[in-house]
Amino acid sequence: MKIYAYAASGFAGRLVSVDVDIRRGIPGLDIVGLPDGAVRESRERVRVALRRSGFEFPRDRILVNLSPADLKKEGAAYDLPIAVGILERSGQIASVDAPPVLCAGELLLDGSVRAVNGILPAAAAALDAGIRRFIVPIANRREARALAGIRAAGLAHLRDLPRLFRSEWPAASGETAEDPAEPDLCDDVGDLEDIRGQGLLKRALEAAAAGRHHLLIFGPPGSGKTMGARRFAGLLPDLDAPAALDVTRIWSQADKLGPESGLLRRPPFREPHHTASAEGLLGGGSGTPGEVSLAHKGVLFLDEAPEFGARVLQGLREPLESGRVVHARSGRTWWYPSEFQLLMAMNPCPCGNMGCEESACLCTPPEVNRYWRRLGGALLDRVDIRIPVAPVAPESLLGTSGESSETVRSRVEQARDLQRRRYGGRSWCCNADIPAGALQEFVPLDRSSAADFALAARKLGFSSRAAHGVLRVARTLADIDGCPDVDGDHILEAVQHRRYGDGDLFWSSL
């Protein structure tokens, strides 16, 4: 029987062959194949766990080879495959002509099998290699079965191994596939109807959700920036099956899944603190995914965006463009997908009072410009929608509520359906991802709309990327309104959403 483990190496890890040799000699257990400290320590965990589970630990020389030998093996997930290999080699479990099996799990000294991270990517790699049998900790069973079905057997204790191998795989006790739990990736996000007034903000949130456009919200403290951004998650449609699998793989690798979790169906919403490091946001030398990857197919929200470090903010530019983040450390290279939607919130100036009629702003224009330059022009140029918000009048706070998140979400889903049908069979499915070369095909303008667009782009000094962003947002606004064509009103509204933050102080509109 061939036994495999899994070595995490970014989004696409590698299978590890676990080969055991038992020969006469001084009793001992050696592990070769670049094991780290946790893997080397498995010698004692496996020895004690086997004995306490009623098995006999061979009184011979045992060699465990983890292949490929040039790939570093890390973590305690190798405990179970090493134990299974020793039992199989010593004839304590039946394995005559048995097909290969993938094992993963950490052993406690009493023989219990403890949950580990990375089960879903391990199952995906095994299935790609033609492996159809899986032994995982009982706490990881739902996660594995989200991809492998009932072929994944959950193991609570080592003493259950003989029964598992004697039965017809994998139904050790008449098990059937259960519906995986679907955890929510964010806490209570609230409802859009909690926001009073702020019609422009709500329209921008809906447009950003419908077309997957990046969004910047700025205004005085207490005007509703963070409140609106946190309700953005409730406007997004559920993930489709491929996206749900990718997101769950990343969260499994990062050990972010709860016990008995299945596929994640809701888009993730990540909100790191502004003291986060570049390694925490982008991922680092440990090989674990950063916030940009945990937000894959979802939202990365940066509150108080100018307070993040310049290195952190500028590090977002490549993932925003390529949809992945690639790390290279001392001859080792790995990558994670990072197709996230960027939301940022910030004050209008260092003191935060600019735009408030009741409070005086003492910031000078150079100070305001330095504050905005913390974002960097290159990053800001990638944000298609910029929305100013002002404090709401006290009378409006006591007024009636507006549309609920469910109502707006239904329109967002309809707009997304329009886009999927329009771009069917292409490599993109949302307006924010339309390639520059395809804009003329999918955003045709009549003579009047084209003239309005050209005039606005020239007067406001839009870059080519900014001009393309205006066309993409206009296409989304037309989809929300159910219009097959983009007209002048959509162009002008898209220009209005874009012009803020491009070098002037523009605060007379607040």
Give the CA distances from residue 225 to residues 32, 205, 403, in Å, rounded to whole numbers and listed in that order.
55, 11, 18
pLDDT at 494 over 90: yes
Average pLDDT, stretch 484-503?
Answer: 82
What was the pLDDT predicted at 295? 95
Average pLDDT, stretch 233-261?
Answer: 88
68/498: higher pLDDT: 68
Q: Nearest 5 degrees, angle CA 336-CA 250-CA 118?
A: 115
pLDDT band at 259 (very low <50, low <70, confident <90, very high): low
pLDDT at 169 over 70: no
- Return left, alpha or beta for 123; rule: phi > 0 is left, psi -120 to 50 is alpha, else beta: alpha
What was the pLDDT predicted at 502? 47
Residue-wise pLDDT tens digits, 31-40: 999 999 999 9
Of 268-282, 375-389, 392-406, 442-456, give the lowest mean pLDDT range. 392-406
What was the pLDDT predicted at 143? 87
pLDDT at 499 over 80: no
pLDDT band at 179 (very low <50, low <70, confident <90, very high): very low
Neighbours of 496 (CB within 10 A): 18
pLDDT at 504 over 50: no
Distance, in Å, from the CA atom of 293 to the CA atom of 250, rounded to the nearest integer, reads 7
- Using only the alpha carbons of the chain, give its radius of gyration: 28
Q: Where are the beta strands (DSSP E) in 304-400?
A: 324-329, 332-337, 341-346, 385-388
The answer to whether 428 touches 434, Cβ cutoff 8 Å, is yes
> DSSP assignment, residue 258?
P
Distance, in Å, from the CA atom of 494 to the CA atom of 471, rounded to the nearest integer, reads 7
What was the pLDDT predicted at 500? 65
What was the pLDDT predicted at 421? 92
pLDDT at 503 over 80: no
What was the pLDDT predicted at 334? 86
Q: Which domains does the chain have, with CATH numbers?
A: 3-166 (3.30.230.10), 192-509 (3.40.50.300)
273/255: higher pLDDT: 273
Average pLDDT, stretch 242-247?
Answer: 92
What was the pLDDT predicted at 223? 86
Residue-wise pLDDT tens digits, 54-112: 999 999 999 999 999 988 899 999 999 999 999 999 988 876 677 899 999 999 999 99
What was the pLDDT predicted at 376? 87
Residue-wise pLDDT tens digits, 180-229: 445 545 556 788 888 888 888 999 999 999 999 999 999 998 888 999 99
What was the pLDDT predicted at 509? 37
- State the distance between the two ends of the chain, measured CA to CA, in whole angstroms: 71
Share of residues in the chain with pLDDT > 90 (%): 56
What was the pLDDT predicted at 168? 58
What's the distance, CA 262 to chain centroid?
Answer: 15
Give the CA distances from residue 215 to residues 56, 82, 204, 387, in Å, rounded to whole numbers and listed in that order.
62, 50, 8, 8
Average pLDDT, stretch 309-337?
Answer: 88
Q: What is the mean pLDDT of the chain?
A: 87
Of 64-68, 356-360, 405-409, give the lowest mean pLDDT range. 356-360
Residue-wise pLDDT tens digits, 1-42: 899 999 988 888 899 999 999 998 888 899 999 999 999 999
The answer to whether 103 touches 15, Cβ cutoff 8 Å, is no
Q: Which residue has the tokens 């997957």?
A: 212
Residue-wise pLDDT tens digits, 112-133: 999 999 899 999 999 999 998 9
The answer to whether 233 touches 190, Cβ cutoff 8 Å, is no
pLDDT band at 505 (very low <50, low <70, confident <90, very high): very low
